[in-house]
Structure 1
Amino acid sequence: MNTLAVVVPAYNESEGLREFQRRIGLVFDGLDLQCSVLYVDDGSRDDTWQVMESLRAQDPRVATLKLSRNFGKELALTAGLDHVDADAVVVIDADLQDQPELIPEFVARWREGYDVVYGTRSNRAGETVLKKFTSAAFYRVMEKMSDLPVPRDTGDFRLMSRRVVDALKLVRERQRFMKGLFTWVGFRQTAIVYDRDSRFAGDSKYNYWKLWNFALEGITSFSSFPLRLATYVGFFAALVAFVFGVIVFFKALVYGDPVRGYPSLMVVVLFLGGAQLMALGMIGEYLGRTYVESKQRPLYFVDRHHAPGASAAKRD
């Protein structure tokens, strides 16, 4: 019998885990697969781990993995993928915005021969207009800047075949943008369009500052366009400065050279200074990534790992 594993990264999600397990359990009961779910506790500060352990005690299909601290969702997801061994793996958040009931449809498309089946959101319930706008803008900017065709309005919710998961395990870069990596590995991919629900419980762990940094991470991971943009801005600034210099020269030649022009001089100085700082900032982003990768630190550390049905902890 084929096997299916569901990876659920969670950070302070104790309020919704029991409902998630109830719904995912009903999905498992309706599938002709050997199913399991791996909950990954990304250093939660509430009782998320205790809830996970209680779910494991109640259902032998539940496995748990606790990281030594909060490493962030991308690395928690990586840890989960590293610790599952199944013919197909589903990645889904614990907040129930993505419906577990869609998994059978994902499985059906996988059985048709697709290696990756991802969910594309047609509607995002429970989110502000600003959040929807910034999210849509990010995917479209990413599409224009990167040579990698990251699907629009698509999160982490997807099913992957065994060979896709094995390919992802070979990619060990430390600053990770998983949505891009899912696309980068290639293979045969297809989309399922669905309406995304609002959160079942709790609040989103991503504020706008974190979302901005996440977007910056995605763009710098799969595009060198910002570096080229710095070159274009520098060239444009130099061209404007040259034209302005020619105008000043002929004006002084024809009308003399009285002591004037302080405002225009400050405009030019501030414009060039701002362009230079922006270019240095872009270079710094890429240099910082190189610095982090050069240290070759492990991606994460595991505190505890309980396999499905296991009663003792494995310490990695």
Structure 2
Amino acid sequence: MHPSDIELSVVIPVFNEGPNIGPLCERVRPILDRITGAWEIVFVDDGSADGTLAAIAAVHAEEPRIGAVSFSRNFGKEIAIAAGLDHARGRAVVIMDADLQHPPELIETFVRHWREGYVMVYGQRTDREGESAVKRGFAQIFYRLFERFGETSLPEGAGDFRLIDRKGVEVLRVLGERARFSKGLYAWVGFRQLGVPYAVAKREHGTTKFSFRKLFRFAFDGITSFSTIPLRVWTYVGGVVSLMAFAAALFFAIRTVAFGSDVPGYPSLIVSIMFFSGIQLISLGVIGEYIGRIFAEVKRRPLYVVAERIGGAAQTGDTLTRDAPRVAHL
């Protein structure tokens, strides 16, 4: 099949998802056949250490429209999504996970709305029953903070499970930033978008790859990628602390003139030093986070390295940016 004839591509980032490959393809293939005969599935193997790539090769031998791009190491899910968009050739691209928590049957609804003229159709989860109260609470806080301080708003419950029209895909491919927060990028590109509610299914095999630490880091990357508020807030904190220090100095000066000097308290001195030292270290840490992102950007390394390919996904995106390619090959 010629690349220009492919109507629908399904991009699936995978990391140690070997047992899920077969069941996923068995559910997705009949759905794609009902929608269109011109489809492809592009797995992006993010440096798996199990039999994920071998499982993909097995289903490719049975169905040539299923292929894969394999990284030289683990680059992270956000980079895997970017690679999938680089290699997908369809006029519309669906992004979904391999653990079957994203119901494949919803792809038909996505495509129907896409044919109605929507550039992006995203799944919007309606429940968080499988998550702890702490995780749900932090998720709500994150969405509130992003809504308040981010460059754009995020639909609550929207994730990577979505369909993107080719013109939206091309805009996302041009965005070559290294610290990627895909949810924010989807909202930033704009276009006509629509949310479709769905319930998250139970994971069939394996466990989630996102620990609480990784999720916290992901949320922090999202805030810092789309807002400079973490930097500006320390200007306000510094101003408030300076005013407090000036008021305290004025108070002690007046009291000394009126009542004479008294012996300074050692505990209060230590507490003050520790308090102000903590503020300085936190502010330096936030500044360092932004400087680290600048450092990563100016190095202009490729987003990922492709070690192996399965199937005919041929696009590489080598010439997408003038300064550096998005992909390197072994």
Q: TM-score, normalised by structure 2?
A: 0.90
Q: Render the CA deviation track for 1:165-184: whole Å, top value 9, x for unaligned.
A: 11111111111111111111
1:206 aligns with 2:210: yes
Deviates more, 1:125-134 or 1:217-226: 125-134
Asked if 1:226 is matched to 2:241, the reply is no
Q: Which amino acid aligns with 2:192?
A: R
Displacement after TM superposition at 1:259 (Å) = 1.0
Q: Is the 1:13–1:94 contact (alpha carbons within 8 Å) kept by the matching residues of 2?
A: yes
Partner Cα distance (1:103, 1:54) in 2:
24
Counterpart for residue 156 of structure 2: 152
Identity, in percent, stands at: 44
Distance 1:286 1:232 in 2: 18
Over aligned residues, Cα RMSD in angstroms? 1.7
Q: SS of 2:284's equivalent?
A: helix
Query: What is the deviation of 1:106?
Result: 0.5
Shift, 1:147, TM fit: 2.1
Q: Which residue of 1 aligns with 2:250?
A: 246
2:136 aligned with 1:126, yes or no?
no
Q: For residues 259-298 of structure 1, what are the structure 2 equivalents within 5 Å?
A: 259-298=263-302
50-59 or 130-139, larger mean C-alpha shift: 130-139
What is the SS of the residue equivalent to 2:199? strand
Distance in structure 1 (CA, Å) of the matches to 2:212 and 2:309: 33
- Distance in 2 (CA, whole Å) between partners of 1:125 and 1:41 is 29
- For residues 18-46 of structure 1, give each alpha carbon's deviation from its aligned partner in whole angstroms, at most 9, with x where no partner exists: 11111111211221351211111100011
- 5+ residue gaps, structure 1: none
How many pairs align?
Answer: 312
For 2:132 and 2:206, how far apart are their aligned partners in 1? 16
Distance 1:296 1:233 in 2: 34
Give the gaps of 5 or more residues in structure 2.
Answer: 315-328
Q: Offset of 1:125 from its aligned partner?
A: 4.0
Displacement of 1:136: 2.3
Check if 1:137 corresponds to 2:164.
no
Q: Deviations over 1:214-251 (max 9, x none)?
A: 11111111100101111111111111111222222222
The answer to whether the aligner puts 1:111 opposite 2:110 as a matched pair is: no
User: 2:57 aligns to what?
Assistant: 53
Is 1:192 equivalent to 2:196 in the alignment?
Answer: yes
Aligned counterpart in structure 1 of residue 106 of structure 2, from 102, 109, 126: 102
Three-state SS of the structure 2 residue aligned to 1:248 is helix
Contact 1:62 1:309 (C-alpha < 8 Å) held by counterparts: no
Partner of 1:65: 69
Q: 1:87 offset after TM fit, Å?
A: 0.7
SS in 2 for 1:124: coil
